[in-house]
Amino acid sequence: MTDLRYLRTNLIDGFSQEVVQKLHFAIVGCGAVGNEVVKNLTLLGVGKLDVFDFDTIEIHNLTKSVLFRESDVGRKKAEVVAERAMELDPNVSVRAFIGDFWEKMSLDMLKGYNAVISSVDNFEARIRLNRLCALFSKDLVNTGIDSRNASIEVYPFSRNKECACYQCNLPNSVYAEISKRYSCGWLRNIAAQDKVIPTTPITASIAGAFAASMAIRLQNYDYEKSQQILIDSRTGISIQLSLDVDEDCGGCSNRSASILHVKSSPDIDSRIFKLPRTFNKNIQITSSEPILTEFRCVNCTPDQKDVTIVFQNADSFTSTFSICKKCGQISRDIIIKDKFTISELLRKYKGFRFPCKYISTEINGTKLIIEMERDNEH
């Protein structure tokens, strides 16, 4: 019966069902495009899919999402997508991860995927996915849609470490838009509102079809350079572009270095920070996310040395944190940073835990990635 299910796809020249059934993809974002990507890969009989999304189904999602039903309103998108996909083909294993992929996708999981498909709707998530895939040479397919156009990009990191990354061609206006959502460096601005972009099931289905196709074709080494396809759903006009590398791109830094990935307790006084004195105490550690390290109120605490240590992920704070609870003024001097020396960590922050996904450093040309273990991993 299984052979009969895939009878027609087995007739496609150059298409191997046996190969497809061994593939394992991650799909980040289970909205309109994510629905289409999962639907297509499931109907093609891809072996394993991991789907990531933190969002809940709302009634307006039903006009664009083929796997959602009215009875699903209020349920988690990832959970419903996984259930419906396995109804389409029980031979496909689909796992749902409810939450932010940054927290739910371990680096070991990432290394096990044949490719990652991004169907998210914000630049911050795309940039983070790009960083991870570029760092670990994992192929990335990125999608974007509006009410008329579909954009699909492929980044063949696994076979070309010199290819352009997602950030290479981002205009400055994107970073300006991101910065509007934050104040004091990396505190979320609660007054900022995300711009809602209208979309349609037409552009979602186009993007989902091309993304699934590109993910499969990556396995046949059909891509050597990063490329983008732009499709106008009204006119049918499509443009294929070769994406160029930006020599000054921050997302491409250290991609040519060898990578050593280890795991460690996030405790700053754990063994990883007490390694032999072979490590220079002044070696620089970079955290994967900015950290709010300390603050003081310039009104209530005139002594600059009298600060309160926080050492928590900066993204967990909003702009209201700059208001002193004692004097009620916007007067807190807040320190946010992502670079530390080992001696600084042991001197100032001993007893704290690193509130980030991973930390990194470079030693003798090798980039050391230290993933912070979750409590449930012990």
| CA angle centred on 98, ends 52 and 64, rounded to 5° | 60
Region 195-210: what's the mean pLDDT?
92
Q: Which pLDDT tens digit goes with each residue over 7-17?
A: 888 888 878 88
Q: Is the pLDDT of residue 251 over 90?
A: no
Q: Is the pLDDT of residue 273 over 60?
A: yes
User: Residue for token digits 């002193």?
Assistant: 324
Confidence at residue 49, expressed as pLDDT on a 0 to 100 scale: 98
Q: Which pLDDT tens digit goes with each residue over 153-185?
A: 999 999 998 899 999 999 888 777 777 666 555
Q: Is the pLDDT of residue 116 over 50?
A: yes
Q: Do 52 and 26 touch, CB atoms closer than 8 A? A: yes
Q: Is 332 helix (H, G, I), strand (E, B) or coil?
A: strand
pTM of the model: 0.91
Q: Which pLDDT tens digit goes with each residue over 117-136?
A: 999 999 999 999 999 999 99
Q: Which pLDDT tens digit goes with each residue over 235-247?
A: 999 999 999 999 8
Q: Which pLDDT tens digit goes with each residue over 307-321?
A: 999 999 999 999 899
Confidence at residue 202, expressed as pLDDT on a 0 to 100 scale: 97
Q: Which pLDDT tens digit goes with each residue over 74-108?
A: 999 999 999 999 999 999 999 999 999 999 999 99
Q: Is the pLDDT of residue 378 over 50?
A: no
Q: Is the pLDDT of residue 275 over 60?
A: no
Q: Which CATH superfamily is domain 2-252 in?
A: NAD(P)-binding Rossmann-like Domain (3.40.50.720)
Give bridge partners of residue 51 from the DSSP assignment. Answer: 27, 96
Give bridge partners of residue 318 from the DSSP assignment. Answer: 188
Instruction: Give the best-scoring range by mean pLDDT among 48-57, 160-169, 176-185, 335-344.
Output: 48-57
For the chain, what is the mean pLDDT?
A: 90
Query: Phi/psi zone of residue 364: left (φ > 0), alpha (ψ -120 to 50 degrees), beta?
Result: left
Domain residue ranges in the chain:
2-252, 258-377
Listing DSSP states for 2-69 in one string gives: HHHHTTTGGGSTT--HHHHTT-EEEEE--SHHHHHHHHHHHHTT-SEEEEEE--B--GGGGGT-TT--
